[in-house]
Structure 1
Amino acid sequence: MAKVEDLPENHITSNTKKDNSSIQSEAIDAEIPVEDISTKDKKRLKEVLVDIAMSTSVHGIANIVSATKTYTRLLWLILLLLAMVGYVFQLSQIHNTFSTAQKSTMMDIRFGVQDFPGVTFCNLNPIKKSFLSEMSMDMQLFLLISEAMMRVYSRPIDVDIEGSSNFQFLENFKKHGFNTEGWDVLSYIPTDPLQTRDIFIKSEISQMNRSVVERVGHSIDDMLLHCSFNSMICNSSLFTPITNTRYGNCYTLKTDDLVTTVPGPPYGLSMILDLETYEYVSPSSSGNGMKLVIHEPGSYPFVEEHGVNVGPGRTSIGLNRIEIQRLTPPHGNCEYHNDYVDRYGIEYSKMACEQLCQVTLTEDICGCIPTIVSIDASIITSNSKVCATLDIPCAILVRQAQVKGDLHCPCTNPCLENVYTKTISSHSWPRQKYLIQEIIPLICEDTERAQKVLHITGYTCDDFLLRDDLPEAAVRPFEDNFVKLDVYFEDLNYEHVEEADAYDVYQYLSDIGGATGLFVGASVLSLVEVVQVIVEVIKYAVNRLTKK
């Protein structure tokens, strides 16, 4: 038997495990071509890939590799390709559904203590008759002129547009990309008598100093005879004065600390208001009453757009709150606008944003402040030039371009908004006896009001309180003069409406997984096999580069 030491040396070496560098060195010594070793590496990579293909969890690949006949391999290859086509198509449908950002709306009823909303009211008469003589001649004209005469003043004006310097704003429209050729600007001047009157009154009030408006209009100290909230007595200090360009003085309830814990009229806001109808200027003030708007606390009260008319008598307004919660992009288009109060002093609302934007656009294009908006323009600009008669068409054109989207205003819906539905009921109030025994004494509690009673009726407060033989004519000036208003929550339940993703990322991934399993039988763990293939290919490439 041959001994170990008698065997050839190269035989011993061939049975010893060596690294790639040793193999290459011995190949050179033994005069073995390097190409043969490269072929051996290729064979090794192929064997690794075949092993992975045979053990992969992806359906069809193992059948292609293991097939012994060409037509079988071809059949499985076609089936795999068809499955991949279906898989890609299904993925595209899933992605399209996800990218459209569909949303659904959910509604439920919740219960809790209610924050009281903002309540703003204005007397329908902007200027007291006793201060009319202090107004400008134009203001007196439009407060006193009849509607019949207004129709005469509202006839179309014959103006040469091309030669008039008043229509230079058309050039500013051109700078914003508008083709103004053929525009009939004069057709935008209002011809309706009532609308024309309102525009001129708003223009005059807009040019008045705020302190003057407060002095010549109806003050809350004169109007508010009685006030209670949650069955507790309140006074005029609970209200903040604001100026409206159509109604002059308006007053907003301060609701910072006001909450309702019990539903019903006794636990809401109750007021008795003296409309001071004897101070009304006719015919501009064609009816008695007040304008009332219910709005979110801290938001700007749009009295003209959202307000309701409340006539003399007793009016009850039952409220129900709807809380709306919207989605941010990509499924929604709302924004929180947390900096709005710091910038403008009011809570964000879409209408406030649109009107402030309209003020800015009108100032840029027309060079003046529009009077066709309700919001106080001083919130956003210090310009005091109000749009005059021939500027009104420009302001209206700006508004129409804004509504159409030709002049962009980046105003989105708020992400959280409260809407109040109202149930309004009213009846005649007060009866004459109640007026004499209850309302007149309220007026007479204040010395200045007591003097007004004597001036208006010719009778003193003592006459009303002590005499039983006063004629009916004594109280006639107070007919249709008082409003009793009750604003309250009908229920502490409120409706919560919330937008939700109809197709969220979890459903998106689940559908992708379902499609992947359906067409190719893969799972998340199949990704490990893909990584393994990539690693093997990289190792092969590195070896090839090293050998070169």
Structure 2
Amino acid sequence: AREEEEKKEGLIEFYDSFKDMFEFFCKNTTIHGTIRLVCSDSNRMKTAFWTLLLLASFGMLYWQFALMFSQYWAYPVVLTMSMHSEPKMFPAITICNLDPYRFELVSEHLVQLDRMAEESITFLYGINTSASLLHVNEKSIHVKDLSNIGNLSRSSFKLSQNFSLVRMSDRSNRSEKMHSETVGFRLCNATGGNCFYKTYSTGMDAILEWYRFHYMNIMSQLPVIINISDHEEQIEDMVYSCQYDGEPCRPSDYVHFHHPVFGSCYTFNSKGTDSFWTATKPGIPYGLSLILRAEQKDHIPLLSTVAGVKVMIHNHNQTPFLEHEGFDIRPGIATTIGIQQDEVNRLGGNYGKCTTDGSDVNVKLLYNNSYTLQACMHSWFQHIMVRKCGCGYYYYPLPPGAEYCDYNKQPAWGHCFYQLYNRLRNHHLNCFDQCPKPCRESLYKVSVGTAKWPSAKSQDWIRQALRHQNGYNSTSNRRDIAKVTIFYQQLNYQAVNESPLLSENLLLSSMGSQWSLWFGSSVLSVVEMFELLIDTLVLSLLFCYQRFRAKKTLKVAHTPTVPS
């Protein structure tokens, strides 16, 4: 009896058969339903029923496991929205006067271009626009220290006559009632073949694009690096009054730069590090209030047809792309712009493609500010432009060693550029694959209100005050000044965060719930299953070894003895 008790309490148990092992497991396991396989062994119908039921439960369990793992490996996300309220930094504000510099080096070519534009408009529509287009007597900006830049003589560049504007019938509309004309100019490759017309449905759009095309070729004659500080305008020439939170703006609050289309620009609070720009209260009195010069007499009429000032609200240390996100302030109007901030946080990694600071992006940024989607896409397009067309697009920075496009040097660059641009618009350049979104970014929603300013009753004394303080000498009625106020509507902001829909903890919890649903057991039951598998493997090896020994013994026993 003592030997039998020691046998039952042994650390390692060896069963006489698989049946004994299976009966022991069914009687002692914590998995529900298995004991029915043993208790009903005298009734084969019940045994078969419970066997099928357990197998079906196992099948449903692992089917659910497969669904959960397929969902987990799809890496879905869920958006959670939360509201926060705290003092925060005022955004960066960029304003431009829509009056680009007429550099002395290219001023004669710009005058020639104005004459060509006048002739083209006369040819197309039979109207004379010389009084409004020509700007022969305008002051030009002189670029200093050009002796080390090379041969930049004015006679080396000639405006091309190969891109004349023409009117064409739109053959796509076969109906006589829908008959229309298009206006455009012809572009060909380097061999003079594969030509196409860059056409527009309205002559206005065609003339503007034709003018910009020639304008880029003219401006490419300028040196790549120009010291704007040599001829930098004073901010008082554009901004008559500047106040933030009731305090006058300081010289350190803005930086100046020049844009080839939007002219002289100023960015307020560009770095976002000065506590002066911390917003502690919402409302119009606590925002940025500007009175701006919005004169039109110096505008290049075919480069910008908008009267007023260009304004853009953006994040700190970011390049403002006014052609995409800027909006216009009308002269003679007081514009109030209320802003509401949203913050977006993306997961990245397996859950989506995004970048923290752009260091892991394959595109080399051509802008010196922080990473943005627009900066990456413009840089990617410029790299492709230089590689495919042999020169760079004038409105974007250049990669090292490249030069801006000039149809005197690269006659077919326009043909190459417009084909690339069409591919960009049709999403064939894989820009979004190369340029992921930032993992964290702030977005600004704006609401705008306008009113005439100054009013008829107050315009006289306001003009006198501006004339006395800023040398304001205009006599027009509200056509050369504008007022804009930018403020936080409220300091609370909405944060949109991505989080995994099925994390590791939630996956394990769901698996445990499914296991409990189908078998009413726990993690220890899973250990019992592994123990059963190990016992089955050990018992199989033991039986195989016993059979091998038995065959070997039997073979030795039947070996005939050799008589001596």
Measure the CA separation in 1 of the matches of 2:545 and 2:258: 85
| Correspondence for 1:291 | 310
| Correspondence for 1:503 | 502
| Correspondence for 2:196 | 186
Change in Cα spacing, 1:497 to 1:158, as seen in structure 2 (3 Å) is: closer
| Correspondence for 1:393 | 415
Change in Cα spacing, 1:207 to 1:271, as seen in structure 2 (3 Å) is: farther
How many angstroms does 1:104 deviate by?
2.6
| Correspondence for 2:238 | 223
Judge conservation of contact 2:512–2:522 (CA < 8 Å) in 1. yes
How many angstroms does 1:42 deviate by?
5.9
| Correspondence for 2:209 | 195
| Correspondence for 2:28 | 55
1:256 aligns with 2:273: yes
In structure 2, what residue type is equivalent to 1:397?
Q
How many angstroms does 1:230 deviate by?
2.2
How many angstroms does 1:502 deviate by?
3.1
Measure the CA separation in 2 of the matches of 1:204 and 1:213: 19
Change in Cα spacing, 1:73 to 1:436, as seen in structure 2 (3 Å) is: closer
| Correspondence for 1:34 | none
Q: Which segments of 5 or more consecutive residues in structure 1 lack a partner in the other structure? A: 1-13, 19-39, 168-183, 445-452, 458-474
Aligned residues: 461
Judge conservation of contact 2:453–2:478 (CA < 8 Å) in 1. no
CA deviation vs aligned residue, 1:286-312 (integer Å, no higher than 9, x gap): 443111111111111010111111122
Change in Cα spacing, 1:328 to 1:280, as seen in structure 2 (3 Å) is: closer
Measure the CA separation in 1 of the matches of 2:298 and 2:541: 98
Residue of structure 1 aligned with 2:376, choices 353, 371, 385: 353
Judge conservation of contact 1:317–1:486 (CA < 8 Å) in 2. yes
Change in Cα spacing, 1:246 to 1:213, as seen in structure 2 (3 Å) is: farther
Matches within 5 A, 1:131-530: 134-143=105-114, 145-146=117-118, 148-149=121-122, 153-155=164-166, 164-165=190-191, 186-188=196-198, 192-205=206-219, 207-209=221-223, 210-211=225-226, 220-253=235-268, 254=270, 255-257=272-274, 258-282=277-301, 284-313=303-332, 314-337=334-357, 339=359, 344-371=367-394, 376-378=396-398, 380-386=399-405, 388=407, 390-409=412-431, 410-430=434-454, 431-444=458-471, 475-476=474-475, 480-530=479-529
Change in Cα spacing, 1:150 to 1:531, as seen in structure 2 (3 Å) is: farther
Identity of aligned residues (%): 22
Measure the CA separation in 1 of the matches of 2:211 and 2:99: 13
For 2:453, what is the secondary structure of its paired residue?
A: coil
| Correspondence for 2:93 | 119
Judge conservation of contact 1:207–1:384 (CA < 8 Å) in 2. no
Measure the CA separation in 2 of the matches of 1:298 and 1:305: 17
How many angstroms does 1:251 deviate by?
1.8
In structure 1, what residue type is equivalent to 2:314?
H
Measure the CA separation in 2 of the matches of 1:157 and 1:288: 27
For 1:361, what is the secondary structure of its paired residue?
A: helix
Which segment drifts farther, 137-146 or 284-293? Answer: 137-146
Q: Which TM-score applies when normalising by structure 2?
A: 0.71
How many angstroms does 1:113 deviate by?
0.7
Q: CA RMSD in A?
A: 3.6
Measure the CA separation in 2 of the matches of 1:387 and 1:324: 42
Measure the CA separation in 2 of the matches of 1:317 and 1:159: 43
Judge conservation of contact 2:314–2:444 (CA < 8 Å) in 1. yes
Change in Cα spacing, 1:502 to 1:165, as seen in structure 2 (3 Å) is: same
In structure 2, what residue type is equivalent to 1:195?
E
For 1:368, what is the secondary structure of its paired residue?
A: coil
CA deviation vs aligned residue, 1:461-503 (integer Å, no higher than 9, x gap): xxxxxxxxxxxxxx42685222222211122122222223333
Judge conservation of contact 1:317–1:425 (CA < 8 Å) in 2. yes
In structure 2, what residue type is equivalent to 1:301?
P
Measure the CA separation in 2 of the matches of 1:397 and 1:57: 71
In structure 2, what residue type is equivalent to 1:322?
D
Q: Which segments of 5 or more consecutive residues in structure 2 lack a partner in the other structure? A: 8-12, 126-163, 167-183, 550-564
For 1:392, what is the secondary structure of its paired residue?
A: helix
Measure the CA separation in 2 of the matches of 1:189 and 1:363: 25
Matches within 5 A, 1:1-12: none
Q: Which TM-score applies when normalising by structure 1?
A: 0.73
Judge conservation of contact 1:127–1:217 (CA < 8 Å) in 2. no
CA deviation vs aligned residue, 1:234-256 (integer Å, no higher than 9, x gap): 24442222332322332212332
In structure 2, what residue type is equivalent to 1:102?
P
Measure the CA separation in 1 of the matches of 2:21 and 2:100: 92
Which segment drifts farther, 59-68 or 492-501? Answer: 59-68
How many angstroms does 1:439 deviate by?
0.3
| Correspondence for 1:98 | 72
| Correspondence for 1:468 | none
How many angstroms does 1:441 deviate by?
1.4
| Correspondence for 1:22 | none
Judge conservation of contact 2:98–2:264 (CA < 8 Å) in 1. no
Judge conservation of contact 2:393–2:404 (CA < 8 Å) in 1. no
For 1:106, what is the secondary structure of its paired residue?
A: strand
CA deviation vs aligned residue, 1:387-423 (integer Å, no higher than 9, x gap): 6473233223323434544433322221221111112
How many angstroms does 1:540 deviate by?
4.1
How many angstroms does 1:263 deviate by?
1.8
Judge conservation of contact 1:516–1:522 (CA < 8 Å) in 2. yes
CA deviation vs aligned residue, 1:195-234 (integer Å, no higher than 9, x gap): 2223433454455345376767865352233222222222
Which segment drifts farther, 40-49 or 515-524? Answer: 40-49
